[in-house]
Amino acid sequence: MKKYQLGEFEEVVILTIAVLNNEAYSVAIKDEIESRMSRSVSMGALHTALKRMEEKGYLRSYAGEGTEERAGRPKRYFEITALGKRAAQYARDTREELWRAIPKSVWQVNLGG
Protein backbone atom coordinates (compact mmCIF):
# COMPACT_ATOMS: atom_id res chain seq x y z
CA MET A 1 0.00 0.00 0.00
CA LYS A 2 1.35 3.40 -0.92
CA LYS A 3 1.31 5.92 1.89
CA TYR A 4 1.31 8.82 -0.56
CA GLN A 5 0.59 8.87 -4.27
CA LEU A 6 3.33 11.04 -5.78
CA GLY A 7 4.50 10.12 -9.27
CA GLU A 8 7.91 11.04 -10.69
CA PHE A 9 6.65 14.07 -12.63
CA GLU A 10 4.57 15.18 -9.67
CA GLU A 11 7.67 14.95 -7.49
CA VAL A 12 9.59 17.14 -9.95
CA VAL A 13 6.72 19.65 -10.00
CA ILE A 14 6.39 19.84 -6.22
CA LEU A 15 10.16 20.27 -5.80
CA THR A 16 10.15 23.00 -8.45
CA ILE A 17 7.34 24.81 -6.64
CA ALA A 18 9.49 24.68 -3.50
CA VAL A 19 12.46 26.12 -5.42
CA LEU A 20 10.33 28.94 -6.84
CA ASN A 21 8.73 29.59 -3.45
CA ASN A 22 6.37 32.58 -3.80
CA GLU A 23 6.86 32.86 -7.58
CA ALA A 24 5.44 29.45 -8.50
CA TYR A 25 2.95 29.93 -11.34
CA SER A 26 2.57 27.62 -14.32
CA VAL A 27 4.90 29.34 -16.82
CA ALA A 28 7.62 29.80 -14.18
CA ILE A 29 7.27 26.16 -13.11
CA LYS A 30 7.51 24.98 -16.73
CA ASP A 31 10.55 27.19 -17.43
CA GLU A 32 12.33 26.07 -14.25
CA ILE A 33 11.81 22.36 -14.96
CA GLU A 34 12.97 22.76 -18.55
CA SER A 35 16.02 24.77 -17.48
CA ARG A 36 17.12 22.49 -14.65
CA MET A 37 16.36 19.15 -16.27
CA SER A 38 16.84 19.85 -19.98
CA ARG A 39 13.41 18.30 -20.36
CA SER A 40 10.57 19.61 -22.47
CA VAL A 41 7.31 20.10 -20.56
CA SER A 42 3.95 20.67 -22.21
CA MET A 43 1.60 23.12 -20.55
CA GLY A 44 -1.17 20.52 -20.82
CA ALA A 45 0.81 17.92 -18.88
CA LEU A 46 1.82 20.50 -16.30
CA HIS A 47 -1.75 21.77 -15.80
CA THR A 48 -3.00 18.20 -15.48
CA ALA A 49 -0.38 17.44 -12.82
CA LEU A 50 -1.08 20.68 -10.93
CA LYS A 51 -4.84 19.98 -10.93
CA ARG A 52 -4.32 16.37 -9.83
CA MET A 53 -2.00 17.41 -6.97
CA GLU A 54 -4.46 20.08 -5.89
CA GLU A 55 -7.24 17.45 -5.82
CA LYS A 56 -5.00 15.17 -3.71
CA GLY A 57 -4.48 18.05 -1.28
CA TYR A 58 -0.73 18.39 -1.96
CA LEU A 59 -1.03 21.90 -3.41
CA ARG A 60 -3.27 24.91 -3.11
CA SER A 61 -3.53 27.72 -5.61
CA TYR A 62 -4.52 31.34 -5.39
CA ALA A 63 -4.91 34.20 -7.84
CA GLY A 64 -2.31 36.94 -7.83
CA GLU A 65 -2.88 40.51 -8.92
CA GLY A 66 -3.98 41.16 -12.49
CA THR A 67 -1.32 42.74 -14.66
CA GLU A 68 -1.47 44.97 -17.72
CA GLU A 69 0.75 42.59 -19.69
CA ARG A 70 -1.84 39.84 -19.07
CA ALA A 71 -4.80 42.10 -20.00
CA GLY A 72 -5.81 42.30 -16.36
CA ARG A 73 -5.87 38.54 -15.83
CA PRO A 74 -4.18 37.34 -12.64
CA LYS A 75 -1.52 34.65 -12.50
CA ARG A 76 -2.48 31.50 -10.58
CA TYR A 77 0.18 30.79 -7.97
CA PHE A 78 0.78 27.43 -6.31
CA GLU A 79 2.02 26.57 -2.86
CA ILE A 80 2.71 23.27 -1.15
CA THR A 81 0.36 22.22 1.64
CA ALA A 82 1.46 20.40 4.80
CA LEU A 83 0.24 17.16 3.22
CA GLY A 84 2.27 17.91 0.09
CA LYS A 85 5.38 18.50 2.19
CA ARG A 86 4.86 15.15 3.92
CA ALA A 87 4.38 13.43 0.54
CA ALA A 88 7.60 14.96 -0.83
CA GLN A 89 9.53 14.00 2.30
CA TYR A 90 8.12 10.47 2.11
CA ALA A 91 9.28 10.21 -1.53
CA ARG A 92 12.75 11.45 -0.56
CA ASP A 93 13.02 9.10 2.42
CA THR A 94 11.88 6.13 0.31
CA ARG A 95 14.44 6.87 -2.41
CA GLU A 96 17.26 7.33 0.10
CA GLU A 97 16.30 4.06 1.81
CA LEU A 98 16.45 2.25 -1.52
CA TRP A 99 19.83 3.78 -2.38
CA ARG A 100 21.24 2.70 1.01
CA ALA A 101 19.92 -0.84 0.49
CA ILE A 102 21.82 -1.39 -2.77
CA PRO A 103 24.90 -3.56 -2.19
CA LYS A 104 28.11 -1.63 -2.88
CA SER A 105 29.19 -4.37 -5.29
CA VAL A 106 26.41 -3.33 -7.68
CA TRP A 107 28.22 -0.05 -8.39
CA GLN A 108 31.72 -1.47 -8.66
CA VAL A 109 32.98 -1.34 -12.21
CA ASN A 110 34.95 -4.28 -13.54
CA LEU A 111 37.71 -2.75 -15.68
CA GLY A 112 39.49 -6.08 -16.18
CA GLY A 113 37.85 -6.79 -19.50
Considering the entire predicted model, what is its pTM?
Answer: 0.84
86-105 per-position pLDDT tens digit: 999 999 999 999 999 999 88
Per-residue pLDDT at 1 exceeds 60: no
CATH class of 8-97: mainly alpha
Report phi then psi at 28, rounded to 5.
Answer: -65, -40
DSSP structure class, residue 75: E
What is the rounded distance in angstroms from the CA atom of residue 39 to the CA atom of residue 32?
10
CB atoms within 10 A of CB 36: 12
What is the rounded distance in angstroms from the CA atom of residue 32 to the CA atom of residue 24?
10
